[in-house]
Structures are given as structure tokens and as C-alpha cells.
Amino acid sequence: MEKEFKIKGLVMDPVNNSPIIILQDAGSDTLLPIWVGIFEANAIALQIEKVDPPRPMTHDLLKSILGHLSVDIDKIVITELRDSTFYALIYLNLAGKTVTVDSRPSDAIALALRTDSPIFVDEDVIAKSRTQSVPPNKEKVTEDLRRWLEDLDVEDLGKYKM
């Protein structure tokens, strides 16, 4: 079963200085942190901040191509969390037929932001994220980082600087 999530913000991991996308369950206070690369975070931050780059970025190009082909994005779903890596699918509507495309969550989220498409997370991912979601250094989450995430204040969200 899937639950709808919204982008709550971008923050920098204070332990390893990596960007984190914070998703929040649309119907509760449940947060889902997803560590992403700096370039992916920049693509998301530009869209959150409504900054138009002078030339189309990759996600803007993909949106344009889909539009010219009359393909809509119905939704994106973060489908799996395996070995501390999140997986996502983009659900495309191609002339009434649903086509799914494998994607990194950061790319799917960047595209969802540009197309106003809903973001969903599989409930198994939410459950696994409590024990498996770790920063990109692939080591166990330190107690300090776990405490920081648990104490994350809404006021801290969106402080990501490009």
C-alpha cells in the first residue's frame, strides 16, 4: 500500500555534509529522509525556490520531451529500500496506457516537482527506513545523526544553500 508524501524541505546532514530530502506523510507527521547527491539536491532546490535557470536542466528537458509527446506523469512511487538504497518508479500515462520507468528517487522527485505530480511511498519503505536509512557513506547511522533527525524542527527545513 502507498501513502502520499510531500516535500517538506532540504537540509544538510551535519555529520557528513550531504544533502537530505525530507519527505513528510501528507496525513501525519511521519518524515522520510533521503540522502541525495549535491547535483540532484541543486535540481530540487531550484524548483522549490522557483528559480529558472538560463538553460533547461536535465529534468526540465525531460518534462519538455514528455509534454511534446503528450505523456503525463500520473505519480512517482518510492517503491523499495534495499541495502540503504532507495528505489523509485515513475508512472507515465501514454495514451491511456500506464508505463513504469525505474528511477532514482531524487530524479523522480525533481521531475514530480516540475510536473506537479504526486509523490507516494510504499508502506514497507516507511517501515524499513526506521532501521535502514543511512547517509551515503554506507556506514551505520551514528547516534548523533539519529538524534539530530529525530529532533529535526520544521524551522530547520529549507535551509539548504546552493
* pLDDT category of residue 152 using cuts at 50, 70 and 90: low
In a domain, 162, yes or no: no
In a domain, 101, yes or no: yes
Domain count, the chain: 1
- The CATH number that applies at residue 67 is 3.10.690.10
In a domain, 73, yes or no: yes
Task: Supply the pLDDT for residue 143.
Answer: 58
Residue 66: CB atoms within 10 Å: 19
- Tell me the per-residue pLDDT of 59-69, one tens digit each, with 9 for 90 and over: 999 999 999 99
In a domain, 161, yes or no: no
In a domain, 97, yes or no: yes
How large a percentage of the chain has pLDDT more than 70? 81
The SS3 call for residue 56 is coil
In a domain, 111, yes or no: yes
- Tell me the per-residue pLDDT of 124-144, one tens digit each, with 9 for 90 and over: 999 988 776 555 554 545 556
Supply the range of the domain harboring residue 50. Answer: 2-156
pTM of the full structure: 0.81
Residue 33: partners with Cβ closer than 8 Å, 6 or more residues away: 20, 21, 22, 23, 129, 133, 149
Sign of the torsion angle spanned by Cα atoms 35, 36, 38, 43: negative
Residue 120: CB atoms within 10 Å: 22
